[in-house]
Amino acid sequence: MSDLSVIEVDARGLDCPMPLLKAKRALNAIKSGEQLRILATDRGSQRDFQVFAKQSGHLLLASEVDGDVYRYLLQKR
């Protein structure tokens, strides 16, 4: 795969459903195959992004926890 830049959405400090809504808005603005990294502090975002990826068809490439920050990497389909 080519070296596409990864768009980053910083949703730290935002409660549900804002991290997911910000991610959806960003995904609408990028092309198929491009990647989106989301930073969040909402614990519920772990479940939200797993369900969202399954329902939307986008790929959840990574889901990591670093202290109190949750990091997700989505690829737009």
Of 16, 30, 39, 73, which one is the catalytic site residue? 16
- Whether 53 is catalytic is no
Buried-state track 49-75, b at ≥16 Cβ within 10 A, e below 16: beebbeeeebebeebeeeeeebebbbb
Which tokens sit at 32?
């198929």
Residues 6+ apart with CB under 8 A from 67: none
- Name the residues annotated as catalytic: 16
